[in-house]
Every structure is written in C-alpha cells, then in structure tokens.
C-alpha cells in the first residue's frame, strides 16, 4: 500500500509540474534586417533645438512594420555634428546646453507599422552633416517600449545606420532631407501562456488518487478471497 501511495504522489507531483510548465510564458525573438527610405523636415523651435518630423517606408520589412513615422528633436553643432532624440533632455545633456522649461516634458516617440502590428520606440541618434556637400551619415538606437498586435508589451532595440542626403529648404525655410536607413531588429515578446482548463486540471490531479483507490480495493478483495 505504501508503494502505491508513493506512486500516486509522484503522479500528482508530475501533474502539478506539467501544469506549471504549461502556464509559463515563452520568450519569442524577432531578429531581422530591413531597409527604409525616410523623408525628414526640420523646423527650428529655439536657438539650439529643432523639431524633426518624418515618415518613411520599407519594401522588405517583416510583420507589417513597413512604415515609420513620428516626431523627434535635433541639435546641430556649427561643425556639423548633431544629436537627435525623442527626448529633448537627452539632447541637452549630450550637447551640453541648458534646456528651456517649455521643452522638458516634450518627449515623443517613433511608430513602426500602421496596421495590426506596431512598435513604439524612443530614438537616440548622432552623426555628422556636411552642408557644403549636402550629405551626412549617422547611427541610431531605437529603444522599444511597447507595441500592438504581435508586439504587445514588446521590449528590445533596433540598431539603425543612416545615409543622409540634404535636399534643401522648403518655402518656410525648413531643412528637408532624405535618409536611407538600415534597421537591425532585436525584439522580444512573451507568448501567451497555455492555460490548463480548470476541470481538466482537477481530473488530471485526481487520476493518480483514483488509481490508488482502485488498486487497493483490488488487493483487498484478493486477500479476502485467499482467506
């Protein structure tokens, strides 16, 4: 009987372990590259800070992330070096200037995708512009803080390389540029945990106990017959 009890308890433990493992969420990795062409406009909003507004598209991005858009900020040094970010406070720290109070709470974000699947990201970029030649280059890290669809509650980052072509100024004297960007995605999400139905779980746990009971009755009946 003791042996049967041990077997039954082992079955119960195995059942509980299996149910716990099924309920755990698994990490899903999304690692891929994509190319984007982005049009950017730059509007000065202070002596040291400009607003960037941009939109672009990709022909080879996966999971419906074939558009990019949003607003960010940029500060350009007289030597052509620049820092761009969705956080004005980050720019002021990197470029060593005091940020006006009106811009301290003006953080923005970048959106990838315009369908069911979206990524929401914060930008941290730097590079150099050659205004005489009308070209530039840069690099950025897009930090993922959320998403929609496949990318709900996503984390991770996107590394970006930028090849910049300055197109000139529009009628409002805002700088216009076209950027070829290469995105390297490193995104993580959690899959939905597999839920064990309540009734099935109870039956699953009771099965070893029923086995003990049945075998013990069978053994008792055999002992009685022997006597």
CATH 2.40.480 residue ranges in the chain?
Answer: 27-190
The dotted CATH code for 27-190 is 2.40.480
What's the CA gap between 54 and 141, in Å, rounded? 16
* Tens digit of each residue's pLDDT (9 = 90 or more) over 80-139: 999 999 999 999 999 999 888 877 778 999 999 999 999 999 999 999 999 999 999 999
pTM exceeds 0.95:
no
* Tens digit of each residue's pLDDT (9 = 90 or more) over 21-58: 555 668 999 999 999 999 999 999 988 999 999 999 99
Backbone phi, psi, residue 40, to 5°: -125, 140
> C-alpha 174: how far from its chain's center?
32
Among 165, 189, 186, 169, smallest CA distance to 177 is for 165
């Amino acid at each position: 009987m003791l042996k049967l009890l041990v077997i039954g308890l082992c079955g119960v433990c195995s059942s509980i372990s299996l149910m716990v493992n099924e309920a755990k969420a698994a990490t899903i990795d999304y690692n891929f590259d994509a190319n984007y062409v982005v049009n950017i406009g730059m509007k000065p909003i202070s002596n040291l800070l400009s607003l960037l507004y941009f939109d672009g598209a990709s022909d080879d991005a996966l999971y419906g992330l074939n558009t990019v858009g949003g607003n960010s900020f940029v500060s350009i040094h007289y030597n052509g070096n620049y820092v761009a970010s969705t956080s004005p406070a980050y720019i002021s720290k990197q470029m060593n200037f005091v940020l006006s109070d009106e811009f301290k709470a003006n953080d923005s974000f970048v959106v990838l995708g315009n369908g069911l699947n979206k990524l929401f990201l914060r930008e941290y970029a730097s590079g150099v512009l050659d205004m005489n030649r009308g070209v530039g280059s840069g690099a950025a890290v897009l930090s993922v803080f959320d998403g929609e669809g496949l990318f709900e509650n996503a984390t991770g980052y996107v590394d970006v390389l930028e090849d910049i072509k300055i197109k000139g100024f529009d009628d409002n004297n805002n700088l216009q540029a076209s950027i070829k960007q290469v995105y390297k995605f490193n995104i993580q999400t959690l899959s939905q945990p597999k839920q064990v139905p309540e009734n099935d779980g109870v039956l699953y746990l009771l099965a070893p106990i029923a086995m003990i009971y049945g075998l013990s009755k069978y053994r008792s009946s055999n002992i009685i017959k022997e006597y």
